Structure 1
Amino acid sequence: MLAVVQILAVLAALIHVYIFSLESLRFSDRKVHAGLFLVDDTELEAVKPWAYNQGFYNLFLAIGTVVGVFLVRPCPAAGWALILMGCGSMLAAALVLVGTDRRMLKAAASQGTIPALTLLAALTQL
């Protein structure tokens, strides 16, 4: 079952790397800022620095989670701490997103489902 946790954690991290690319690298694309993030063209320049910064938060969560995946077997305490912190933060961010704007339910589900499954699978190991 530990392998399931590791696989799910890597998938959660990959989703957050993708979110990083949307927020930090592709946010100026109208399909991204208007289509996915509901940011009007007139607000783009004001919001772009925030999105860029937020993207790096997502990247750092992904990196920490993947490091945890690699550490969980040779150094369980550190590995579990990183996996639980990373996936817990991903899930919490998804809940905040949907709690802030119900229109973002699909995005929050995409962002939070795999981390939630990772945490549920982790419960079988702790």
Structure 2
Amino acid sequence: MAVVALVCAVLAAVLHIYIFVLESVRWTDERTRRTFGTTAEEAEATREMAFNQGFYNLFLAVVTLVGVGLWTVSDAVGAALVYAGAGSMLAAGLVLLISSPSKAKAAITQLFFPLLAVVTVTIALLV
């Protein structure tokens, strides 16, 4: 079960690295604007906010990946970091789902792998 948990955590991290690229690097590109449903003017006006938000996603991914790496040394330390990173990703996805039901698809995409990671890490620690 630990392998499944770590794969889910890595998938959550990879998705959030992709979100980082969209928000911090490609925010004003046409394809990214279509993905987020923003106009060129809205993207330009929110560029600094998106840049910051993208780094937030990157840092959560890094914490999660460090947890995956440290799992081999200490499953308790690794699990704590995976819980911190993936748990925050999950919480952010839930906030998006609750606050903006029209963005349910994006929220579910954002929280799916972190949810699997949190659940499978818990199971792996219990067995």
TM-score, structure 1 as length reference? 0.93
Q: CA, structure 1 residues 5+15, in 2 after alignment: closer, same or farther (shift >3 Å)?
A: same
Give matches, 1:1-126, under 5 Å: 1-33=1-33, 35-126=34-125
Q: Following the alignment from structure 2 to structure 1, what is the Cα–Cα distance between the partners of residues 99 and 30?
A: 22
1:67-92 Cα distance to aligned partner (Å, 9 max, x none): 00010121222211100111110111
Identity over aligned residues, as a percent? 46
Partner amino acid, structure 2, of 1:79 = G
Q: 1:3: how far off?
A: 0.8
Question: Which secondary structure state, in structure 2, belongs to the residue aligned with residue 28 of structure 1?
Answer: coil
Q: 1:104: how far off?
A: 1.2
Partner amino acid, structure 1, of 2:17 = V
- Comparing 11-20 and 77-86, the one that deviates more: 77-86
Q: Following the alignment from structure 2 to structure 1, what is the Cα–Cα distance between the partners of residues 37 and 96?
A: 13
Q: 1:125: how far off?
A: 2.1
Q: Following the alignment from structure 1 to structure 2, what is the Cα–Cα distance between the partners of residues 40 and 96?
A: 24
In structure 2, the gaps of 5 or more residues are none
In structure 1, the gaps of 5 or more residues are none
CA RMSD of aligned residues (A): 1.2
Q: 1:42: how far off?
A: 2.5
Tell me if the contact between 2:4 and 2:120 (Cα under 8 Å) persists in the aligned partners.
yes
Question: Which secondary structure state, in structure 2, belongs to the residue aligned with residue 104 of structure 1?
Answer: helix
TM-score, structure 2 as length reference? 0.92
Q: 1:110: how far off?
A: 1.0
Q: Following the alignment from structure 2 to structure 1, what is the Cα–Cα distance between the partners of residues 103 and 32?
A: 14
Q: Following the alignment from structure 1 to structure 2, what is the Cα–Cα distance between the partners of residues 99 and 10?
A: 25
Question: Which secondary structure state, in structure 1, belongs to the residue aligned with residue 4 of structure 2?
Answer: helix
Count of matched residue positions in the alignment of Structure 1 and Structure 2: 125
